[in-house]
Chains A and B, each alone.
Chain A
Amino acid sequence: MDQSKEKFAQLQELIDSHKNQPGALMPVLQGAQGIFGCVSEDVQKAIAEGLGITLSEVYGVATFYAQFSLHPKGKYLISVCLGTACYVKGSQRVLDKLAEVLEIPVGGTTADGKFTLEATRCLGACGLAPVMMINGEVYGRLTPDVIPGIIEKYKARD
């Protein structure tokens, strides 16, 4: 509970620092996504109140952009690049393999909350195609058969 209070205090600080700026909603939502890991209804309400705009406006923006999620994501976020360069080099098969190994659909989170699997647009590392990123760490020149080994490594971690 204290932790949540602390986070809302952080959010309030963020809102105050952007309050009178034109176009404040985007940076505030981005900050909130970073603080909470998602922008749930409570968070959206706090933002609407803080910035003096309607909840529907906040919800409209939060649901428009792919970066904002309404539900928490897994501890390890796996983003498989489906940009063109990766796609022509077989990233779809890498993604399929991950879904099979983790037993979740693309966009899903494992029951233990450990992994979320996402397809993402170009990560800009086309020289290493096909590429995936796990919490900021980039894995390049992938083939489906190396996937189980990589996942095992993360499963062994906390």
Chain B
Amino acid sequence: MDIYRAHVLVCGGTGCSSSGSATLIERFNEKIKENGLDKEVKVIRTGCFGLCEAGPVVIVYPEGTFYSRVKPENVDEIVTEHLLKGRKVEHLVYTDHATHEQDATKSLEDIGFYKHQMRIALRNCGVIDPENIDEYLAMDGYKALEKVLTKMTREEVIDEVLKSGLRGRGGGGFPTGLKWKFTYNSVADQKYVACNADEGDPGAFMDRSILEGDPHSVLEAMAIAGYAIGASQGYIYVRAEYPIAVKRLTVALNQAREYGLLGENIFGTGFNFDIHIRLGAGAFVCGEETALMHSIEGKRGEPTVRPPFPAVKGLFAKPTMLNNVETYANIPQIILKGSQWFSSIGTEKSKGTKVFALGGKINNTGLVEVPMGTTLRTIIYEIGGGCPNGKKFKAVQTGGPSGGCLPESLLDTPVDYDNLIAAGSMMGSGGMIVMDEDNCMVDIARFYLDFIVDESCGQCTPCRVGTKRMLEILNRIVEGKGKEGDIEKLEELAQTIKSTSLCALGQTAPNPILSTLKFFRDEYEAHIKEKRCPAHHCKALLQYYITDKCRGCTACARVCPGGAISGEIKKQHVIDQDKCLKCGACMEKCKFGAIIKK
């Protein structure tokens, strides 16, 4: 293996790829060659670093210098200054939102965003080239598989997972070891291991990042699970909307087969295991386990009643063990470092770490992994850097369409499965969307319900019809046509849908409404009784006005699509409320902050 004096790591995750990291890699390689450094410096495309907000992200080792929002034209400077002359390019160094510090001497671990994190599932993301199995092997890759195949009995493996206290990271939080044990106990000629990579929660992208940044960790864990439960075949069901993840999984699968780490007689132990990839086709409900299996079988992705549980009768009517991507990514580490190590992290009933996708009105959008029990406040303020533009925090949404919105007063809640449920939300797959004072909570509830109505498979009545009725009421409220009694009707429908729906999609669908009703009831009441949207968001309930800050520049009048603004040059303009479309174009155009909405 060639030795290089420096490594340039460029993020190749979806976020950074979207902002042009592929061009950066090309440019780096070109410039490095031009300067005769190609024997000394190596450019590596890695998986996601997590800090998507600062993308495209480039890290130069051995110093660990963290460059953010790097543009192709900056590459020359990094090469000629940093790589050639050893001088860091100060103006490109990442600025810490929390401290406003731009410190070139700080390495990754010292930056506020990373300081509170602990990376187990994401351990290799942003560290290795996901398309090169040798790099995974250098990070102890496939050692856990070797250990279980050569030194552990099947029962010992299951016992280790059980004792670790690992719970399902897809949202349900069911003890992983128990699932393994149940499937192990089922007797059948064929069993299956399956991986749920149908990450459908809007605003959650941790599974995608693991598949893109460290696909082998999932393959290795599935093989370990196959050995433990007695399966020779695995399926990964991954969203078709994740093309990079699918590509890297395919590359990883082929490399693992080539190295004899998947296939027949693995490590000469007589154990056979192989994995197929199946693509989803854009149906949220397929994240539900029975629906997912029907989809792999080539059917409509409709859930069926449990029992029988998949551990008894799953894919192709055979016992099947289905885990989520992040759950699997923890397994090799648990096997290598032991259950005791893993269970020493986290809270009493939630062990280990959890990956969250921070998004919405927050400075550091991105992916973070923290020990269970970290408070929401630490995640949002110390890691996330708080709300941008000095806006006031209003709520944080966790658990996607099945979860809820938590207010400021609950920010000191230590995050784990049970605390979040007690607070009126849930862990879910780990989406964490921050909302500020400009977000209307009634509209957010409406947004989630709209999602559910769209994604309900239509099989059972409470979910198909009930959520539709709820959406009608919410639409009415945000349009200013809410009636006395609407809140009570929403609550009644919510309870009925929760208790009578067939699958978890319906059973949890009312959660966003219930939690916003619990914590932001005053906003609902303002919409219904006062016909007022406190966040000035709902179009039907607000009007635009031009204040005396207007200089009469006519910019607003020219941009108004409805011709609603009139006035003489250099004199204050006025908006004709009858003609106003409330599109907000004038407010965006005004340079003087003269247009307000209320």
- Residue numbers of A with Cβ under 8 A of B are 22-27, 29-30, 60-61, 64-68, 82-85, 87-89, 93, 96, 100, 120-129, 131, 138, 140, 143-145
Q: A66-B283, A89-B361, A143-B588 are in contact. Are A26 and B278 (CB under 8 A)?
A: yes
Binds A, one of B70-78, B161-169, B290-298, B498-506: B290-298
Q: Could you tell me the distance between the alpha carbons of A100 and B15 in the complex, rounded to whole angstroms? A: 28
Most buried by A among B202, B301, B316, B451: B202
From B88-96, B203-211, B335-343, the one touching the partner chain is B203-211
Assess whether B63 is interfacial by the CB under 8 Å rule. no
Question: Could you tell me if A122 and B201 are in contact, using CB atoms closer than 8 angstroms?
Answer: yes
How far apart are the CA atoms of A25 and B205 in the complex, in Å? 28
* The residue from A25, A64, A83, A123 contacting B283, defined by CB atoms under 8 A apart: A64
Most buried by B among A29, A30, A85, A100: A85
Bound CA–CA A60/B283 (angstroms): 14
A and B contact pairs by CB, cutoff 8 A, 5 listed: A25-B299, A121-B200, A122-B205, A124-B14, A127-B53
* B205: contacting residue among A124, A140, A143, CB under 8 A: A124
Bound together, the chains give a CA A125 to CA B53 distance in angstroms of 10
Residues of B within 8 A of A (CB): 14-15, 18-19, 52-53, 55, 199-205, 208, 240-242, 278-284, 295-302, 316, 357, 359-361, 365-366, 397, 400, 431, 433, 435, 439, 444, 447-448, 451, 457, 559, 561, 583-585, 588-589
A116 CA to B396 CA, complexed, in Å? 34
Q: Are A127 and B299 in contact (CB under 8 A)?
A: no
- B201: chain A residues at CB < 8 Å are 122
| Pair A65/B281 contact, Cβ less than 8 Å | yes
**Residues of A contacting B279 with CB < 8 Å?**
26-27, 30
Residues of B within 8 A of A24 (CB): 298
Residues of chain B lying within 8 A (CB to CB) of residue A129: 359-360, 365
Tally the A-B contacts, defined by beta carbons under 8 Å: 142
Shortest Cβ distance from residue A18 to the other chain B in the assembled complex, whole angstroms: 9
Q: How far is the CB of B239 from the nearest CB of chain A, in Å? A: 9
Chain A residue at smallest Cβ distance from B203: A84
CB distance from A51 to the nearest CB of B (A): 9
A66–B366 Cα gap in the complex (Å)? Answer: 27
B202 surroundings in chain A (CB, below 8 A):
82-85, 87, 121-122
On whether A26 and B295 interact (CB within 8 A), knowing A60-B300, A140-B18, the answer reads yes
Known: A124-B14, A140-B18. 13 other contacts (CB 8 A): A22-B297, A22-B316, A26-B281, A65-B301, A66-B281, A84-B359, A88-B439, A89-B360, A100-B561, A124-B15, A127-B15, A138-B18, A140-B19
Chain B positions within 8 Å of A96 at CB level: 583
Given contacts A61-B298, A64-B300, contact A126 B584 (CB under 8 A): no
Contact of B281 among A29, A124, A144 (CB under 8 A): A29
Out of B15, B280, B282, B559, name the residue touching A126 (CB < 8 Å): B15
In the bound complex, CA of A131 to CA of B435 (Å)? 18
| A66 contacts B361, C-beta separation under 8 Å | no
Chain B nearest CB, measured from A13 CB (Å): 19
A87 and B447 contact, CB distance less than 8 A: yes
A2→B32 CA distance, assembly (Å): 49
Cβ contacts under 8 Å, A87 to chain B? 202, 447
Cβ–Cβ < 8 Å partners of A123 in chain B: 14, 241
A84 partner residues in chain B, CB cutoff 8 A: 202-203, 359-360, 397, 400, 431, 433, 447-448
In the complex formed, the residue of B with least CB distance to A58 is: B298
